[in-house]
Amino acid sequence: MRKILHADCDCFFAAVEMRDDPALAEVPLAIGGSPERRGVIATCNYPARAFGIHSAMPTARALRLCPHLTLLPGSFDKYREVSRQIQAIFHELTPLVEPLSLDEAFLDVGEVERFSGSATWMARWLKQECLARTGITLSVGVAPNKFLAKIASDWEKPDGLTVITPERMEAFLRTLPVKKLHGVGPATGARLDAMGITTCSALREVPLERLLEAFGKFGKRLFELARGIDERPVRLERERKSVSVETTFAHDLPDLASCREALAPLCQRLEERLARHGHPPLAGLVVKVRFDDFSLTTLESRGLAPSPESFARLLEQAWERARRPVRLLGVGARLLPAARRRQLGLPLL
C-alpha cells in the first residue's frame, strides 16, 4: 500500500508577506496586479476571503468587494527563495518529491523508515519544521494515492492535517461530492448534476459504458476516481506539455483588426520562450481569447507551423465565436509528448 503526502502552503504569497510584516495578518490582504492595468489576484489571505475575494479574480472587482483591501504587487524572487527552503525540507524526508508549483508538492513516503513508518507522524514533522524554519504553515493530506491526498490537504485548511487511511477510504468516498474529483470543472460538474449525480456514491451507480458515452475517455477516469483508484506515481520530473504567453490589456481591444495588431508581440514572446526551451517538437498551436464579458474561448489546431500567419487564422476563428471587445489574448504551443518523440527518433531536450 502506497503512502502519499500532499503538502500545500496556506495562501503562500500572502503568508510570506504576513510573516515579514505581522501587522498584515489581521487585515484583508491580496497579492495581485493593479486595477489600472487590468490585473488579477494571485492569492489572498483568509480575512480577504471572508469578503468573497479569491485567486484569478480581477483586482478591480476585489477592491469593489473590499474597498479597504491591502493590495501588494508581490515579490516573486522572495517567494521562490522561501519555496526553495520548503522543498529542501521535503527532500530531507524523502527523495521522491514531485513539485506542482512554488507552494505544493506530492511526496511518496512509502519506503521511509523514520517515525516508525507512520505517514501521519511524517506529516506532523513536515508541518512543524516548515513553520519553525520558514514561518509558513502547511496543510497536509495523507492517503494511499495522489488523488485522495490532494483532496485531504484541502479538507481542513488552513493549517490542516487530514489522514485518509485505507480503512477509511470507502466511507470517505461514499459522501465525497463529485465536484471534488480531479478534472471535474464547472462544465463537467453541471453535466453530472443534470444527470442527478452529486456524490461518488451516486457516480458508482452509473455503468462505465454510460460514462464513456457521456464524457468520452474522461468517463473511465470518473469511474476509477469514484472508487478511489489512482495509480499515478510520484514523478521526480514533470514533463512540460505546453509553452504559452498571454496579455491582459489596459483597455479592451474593440475589434478584430486591433486584436491582429496585438498578436505580433505575443508571437515574438512565444518564439523567445520556445527558443529558451531549445525549440522542442510541437504537437499543435493554441489561441486563447477572453472577451469583455469575461467569457473565454480557446482554439487549437494541429499541423500548423508556429508562425504569425497561423496564429492570425486561429485568432480570427476564435474572435468570430463572440465578436466582442477583447480584454485578454494568449498564444501557445502544445509540445509533442516525450513518448511520441522517442517513437519518431527525435532528440529529448
Q: Which are the contacts of 334, defined by CB distance < 8 A and separation ≥ 6?
A: 241, 242, 282, 283, 284, 285, 286, 300
- The residues carrying an active-site annotation are 104
Q: Which are the contacts of 258, defined by CB distance < 8 A and separation ≥ 6?
A: none
Phi and psi angles of residue 48, each rounded to the nearest 5 degrees, phi first: -70, -35
Q: Containing H/E element for 276? A: helix 256-276
Q: What percent helix, strand, coil does the chain show, rounded to 5?
A: 45, 20, 35
The Cα 234–Cα 109 span in angstroms is: 10
Phi and psi angles of residue 71, each rounded to the nearest 5 degrees, phi first: -110, 125
Cell numbers found for residue 207: 455503468
Provide the CB-side half-sphere exposure for 291 (13 A, CA). 16
The Cα 44–Cα 71 span in angstroms is: 9
Q: Do the beta carbons of residue 127 and residue 8 sit within 8 Å?
A: no
* Cβ neighbourhood burial of 86 (10 Å; 0-12, 13-18, 19+): buried
Residue type for 35, please?
Answer: P
Q: Of how many residues is the chain composed?
A: 349
The Cα 148–Cα 173 span in angstroms is: 9
The Cα 57–Cα 52 span in angstroms is: 10
Phi and psi angles of residue 162, each rounded to the nearest 5 degrees, phi first: -120, 130
Please provide the DSSP assignment of 205-251 as one string: TS-HHHHHHHHTTHHHHHHHHTTT---PPPPSSPPP-EEEEEEEEEE
